[in-house]
Structure 1
Amino acid sequence: MVLYWKYLTILFKSQLQYRTSFWLLTAGQFLVPFAVFAGMYFLFQRFGQIEGWTFYEVALCFGIIHVAFSLGECLARGFDAFSSLVIGGDFDRILVRPRSTVLQVLGSKFEFTRVGRLVQGIFVLIWAVTHISVDWNIAKAVTLLLMIGCGVLIFSGIFILAATMCFWTVQGLEVANIFTDGGREMAQYPLQIYEKWVKVFFTFIIPFGCVNYLPLLFILDKTNGSSIGYMLAPLAGAIFILPCLAIWHVGVRHYRSTGS
């Protein structure tokens, strides 16, 4: 963690070399997602509710997934831009250093301007929490934190999988955006409103439903039967990242330099 903190410090200083650009990009990251949130607001203004879910309940869902995505995009940005390391042959240098390749790739890039998107997500989250009728307690607060933390792990895992493909394709594959940006857009609404195959895929394959929809049922007192399973559902995100890391190490063992 000391080494990772040094990586962040160096990257932060380098990005502040152009302060005006930095703050404008940060402001843009803060404002742009509001267009998506405004679209959701007008949707509820027109229809009132969706499958029994009110605006503030969906806003809570929106805030949680956007905070998780923003943190995941910040922390795992090195994997999102990993193809440039492979193309330029810079990953060869990482391999000869006496530290984990995962740590070094994580520290190779960190977009501090994405903090603007994070602040926007936190704003929506706080606004939703203050407007919904929920009897908050320690269990629900811990569940909310688990939802965010494990959501970060899911997005990070997807970035890692996309980066691993670069060992064979060299160039990054845009198809990965279906599960990062697409997953974020899908998970900002309750999983209940989608078709059955979508629910199955995003519960048992990429467990967005486990970190957003199922625990949200517990927080909103919409569960049937025991609540323990709903509370622990976010841990599927922590489990999801384990095979992602295992696949990454398989890719590292099969890496062949591009010869750049």
Structure 2
Amino acid sequence: MRLYFKYLNIHLKSQMQYRASFWLMSVGQFFIPFMVFGGLYLMFDRFGQLQGWSFFEVALCFAVIHLSFSLSECFARGFDAFSSLVGRGDFDRLLVRPRSTALQVLGSKFEFTRIGRLLQSSFVLVWSLANLPAVWTFPKLLTLALMIANGVFIFTGIFILAATFCFWTIQALEVANVFTDGGREMAQYPLNIYEKWVTRFFTFIIPFGCVSYLPLMYLLDKREGSELLPMLFTLGGALFLVPCLLIWRFGVRHYRSTGS
């Protein structure tokens, strides 16, 4: 972790050398999801509810997913940009260093301009919580924190899987965007509004449902039962990360360099 924080500090200092550019990009990142949220607001202003879900209930789901995605983009961007390391042959240099390749790739790039997305999602989170008093208990707030943390694990795991394919394809596969950008857009709404096969896929294969829909039902008192079970649901994100890292190790063992 000491090495990771050194990577973090170096990248922060380098990006702050061009402060005007940094803040302009951060402002731009603030307004990108703001437009998406504006569409959500207008939809509820027109129709009132979505299959029994109110605006602030869906806004809470929106905030959780966008916070998770923003944090993952900020701190796991190295895997998202991994194809450039393979294409230039720079990954060979990482292999001879006495540290984990996953840690080095993780520390190869940070996107601190995502602070704009984080702020916008945080505003939505606070606004929705202020209008959902049922969430203001310690077990529910702890569950909410676990939802965000494990959402970060899921998006990071998808970035790792996409990066692993680069060992064989050199370039990143655009199909990965179906599960990152597409998964973010899909999971910002409660999963029960979709077809059953979609709900099952994004609960048991890529477990977005474990960090949004299932715990959300508990937070909003839409289901009864133990308080411990919804917390355990959120750990599906951490479990998803484990096979992703194992697949990454398999890819590293079969890496044959680009010949550059």
Q: TM over 0.5, yes or no? A: yes
Q: CA deviation at 1:107?
A: 0.4
Q: CA RMSD in A?
A: 0.9
Q: Is the 8 A contact 1:218 1:231 kept in 2?
A: no
* Partner residue in 2 for 1:231: 231
For residue 16 of structure 1, give the secondary structure of its aligned residue in structure 2: helix
Task: Tell me the residue number matched to 2:199.
Answer: 199
Structure-1 separation of matches of 2:177 and 2:125: 24
Q: Does 1:152 align with 2:152?
A: yes
Q: Is the CA contact 1:86–1:170 (under 8 Å) kept in the aligned structure 2?
A: yes
Matched, 1:209 2:209: yes
CA distance, structure 2, for counterparts of residue 164 and residue 185 of structure 1: 24
Which string of whole-angstrom CA distances, capped at 9 and with x for unpartnered residues, describes residues 126-158 of structure 1? 110001231522110110000000000000000
Q: 2:162 is matched with which residue? A: 162
**Distance in 1 of aligned mates of 2:167 and 2:38:** 40
Q: Cα distance, 1:224 vs. partner?
A: 3.8
* 4+ residue runs over 3 A deviation: 224-228
Match of 2:11 in 1: 11
Deviation at 1:2, TM superposition (A): 1.0
1:134 match: secondary structure: helix
Q: Percent identity?
A: 69
TM-score, normalised relative to structure 1: 0.98
| Alpha-carbon distance in 2 for matches of 1:103, 1:118 | 23
Q: Distance in 1 between matches of 2:77 and 2:2?
A: 19
Where structure 2 has 5 or more consecutive residues not aligned to the other structure, the ranges are none
| C-alpha displacement of 1:122 | 0.7
The aligned counterpart of 2:34 is: 34
* Structure 1: distance between partners of 2:183 and 2:91: 28
Partner of 1:95: 95
Provide the residue aligned with 2:179 in structure 1.
179
Name structure 1 gaps, 5 residues minimum: none
Alignment pair present for 1:124 and 2:132: no
The count of residues paired between Structure 1 and Structure 2 equals: 260
Contact 1:60/1:124 (<8 A) preserved: yes
Paired residue for 2:69?
Answer: 69
Q: 1:34 & 1:119 partners in 2: Cα distance?
A: 10
